Amino acid sequence: MVVVVEFCSKPPLFPCILYGPTCDAFDTFYNEEVQLPELDVGDWLIFPSMGAYSSVMSSTFNGFLPASICYTMGPELRYPKRAQGSELGPGS
């Protein structure tokens, strides 16, 4: 199930198949279409309760780095900290 929040839920919604970044035909998140609004570059899709399964499935196939991991607690995103204390965030 995809939970979509904080967007205008009025039409138009579009049937979408969500693929991962590897350009592999089997790199899909769901086996069915989901309805999503039009997205812009930089928009985030948040998948609650994906857990370690999605981390285990990550790879460096086609030169991609593993995705950044962020933790949520309340409405804020929290990123793991490096040993030196700087935060890891998107693109880090």
> Is 89 inside any structural domain?
no
DSSP state of 80: P
Identify whether 8 is a catalytic site residue: no
In a domain, 52, yes or no: yes
Q: Mind listing the pLDDT tens digit for each residue in 70-81?
A: 666 666 656 555
And the tokens for 61? 């196939």
pLDDT tens by residue, 15-61: 888 887 666 777 777 777 888 888 888 887 777 666 655 667 677 77
Cβ atoms < 10 Å from Cβ of 20:
17
Residue 6: band (very low, low, confident or very high) from pLDDT cuts 50, 70, 90: low
pTM comes to 0.46
Range of the domain at 26: 1-67
Given the residues 8, 16, 23, 70, the one annotated as active site:
23
Q: DSSP letters of 25-41? A: TT-BS-SS-EEE----T
Q: Does a structural domain hold residue 6?
A: yes
Strand partners, 81: 87
Q: Is residue 43 part of a domain?
A: yes
Question: Looking at residue 76, what DSSP letter applies?
Answer: E
- Is 47 within the bounds of a domain? yes
Overall number of domains in the chain:
1
Q: CB atoms < 10 A from the CB of 64, how many?
A: 13
Q: Where are the alpha helices (DSSP H) in 1-92?
A: 51-56
What is the pLDDT, as a whole number, of residue 83?
Answer: 47
